[in-house]
Structure 1
């Protein structure tokens, strides 16, 4: 499978900023992060995910006690699902993500920053994929750490990366920063939303470094445009 990747260096970042393609944020990650619409609108993507051709071998639960109702759907160049959003606050320990704020906190993420450190959930928008199981294997579908995702809730569209894995039979989770950007309560203990979140993951894509939200937005806008054109 051909890999669609974007590596953002300091020089290329400066060039994109000068061209008006990146937000003028000194830290490199908006705080709080924001959802934005570019060449493709949320409605354009939702129209292309109105029907589902399942590629998973069965259905996922959105929570441990809920019924299994969610398939992973296939499309040209992507997979997608519609589910809830639970809050992932794992990774680097911060004032907002730690053992006190999150009863389920883990000081690591499945995928790491370019310096080897866990991702920072409260500043990097990322989505969580189910661990590989008999239901579905994300890696076999062309998804990996750093793959680009488009996440939609209400009228908001956010580009993010694949940053962590979750239980093998539960789906619908994203980072504190992703929830915040979409207007969803990001509190890891009490936040999230019960439904109406669409996750579109672009096959064969990868952002490097994975912690560059700007690179995810730049590549995501390109892939979203192709997704709308090809489906």
Structure 2
């Protein structure tokens, strides 16, 4: 989980110390895929994403408006609320409805896991080489290529596993009329919420730079209870499973 306040302070310091490589790295992070992997399908880090236009793009057959309508009412299941950033007010509950849990927050950028041209210690001063969940071959997840979301670490406030949410759980992420399917790929601090991988942000038209990117605008995260994309690293599996679950979720709610 990114601490946005800390990240921006670090970014500012780095920019003052080394503006030349900072600019080059930021540009590179927006335009180049993982050097060890082929370019991905739309939604992965194969090429720079254009800014989102409301209502113009989605994965699958379920529209953003339908998903948002199904999450209008919040039955809070978290014992307390979360902050979106360090120092912010705790005002984000985790909600439940038939077949899913959801929350509405901002989006910070997770660039942890396998090193790539977009995600490494040079492009992200807070980079960690591990994720809470791993690929089927044991390797760390690739934030630059795989759309995934981050859930808060288990605590008295909320234990995600008790609600059928674990590594590989399928999620639908909604922002400005776009729907992006993802998996649960990492965990963050126990008191913060609102984070997704570089690839998720990029596909939604959100600036994915781990230091200066993300958005403070509303992002809705819908996680389908008991679901699983198999293998976790297959975005195609997440889309196929997510689309079917989203149709059922909208129909039931």
* TM-score between the two structures when normalised by the length of structure 2: 0.79
Distance in 2 (CA, whole Å) between partners of 1:28 and 1:219 is 19
Q: 1:84 maps to which residue?
A: 106
Pair 1:32 & 2:45 matched: yes
Pair 1:109 & 2:135 matched: no
Distance in 2 (CA, whole Å) between partners of 1:228 and 1:74 is 14
Q: 1:191 maps to which residue?
A: 213
What are the superposed Cα offsets for residues 85-125 of structure 1, whole Å, 9 maximum, x if unpaired?
00000000111101111111000000001110000000000
Pair 1:43 & 2:56 matched: no
Q: 2:11 maps to which residue?
A: none
What are the superposed Cα offsets for residues 190-210 of structure 1, whole Å, 9 maximum, x if unpaired?
000013100000000011110
Q: 1:57 maps to which residue?
A: 79
Unaligned runs of 5+ in 2: 1-37, 50-56
Q: Secondary structure at the match of 2:167?
A: coil
Distance in 1 (CA, whole Å) between partners of 2:145 and 2:106 is 21
Distance in 2 (CA, whole Å) between partners of 1:95 and 1:184 is 19
Pair 1:130 & 2:152 matched: yes
Q: 1:150 maps to which residue?
A: 172
Q: 2:21 maps to which residue?
A: none
Q: Secondary structure at the match of 2:223?
A: strand
* TM-score between the two structures when normalised by the length of structure 1: 0.86
Unaligned runs of 5+ in 1: 1-25
The structure that is strand-richer by fraction is: 1
Contact 1:28 1:212 in 2 (8 A): no
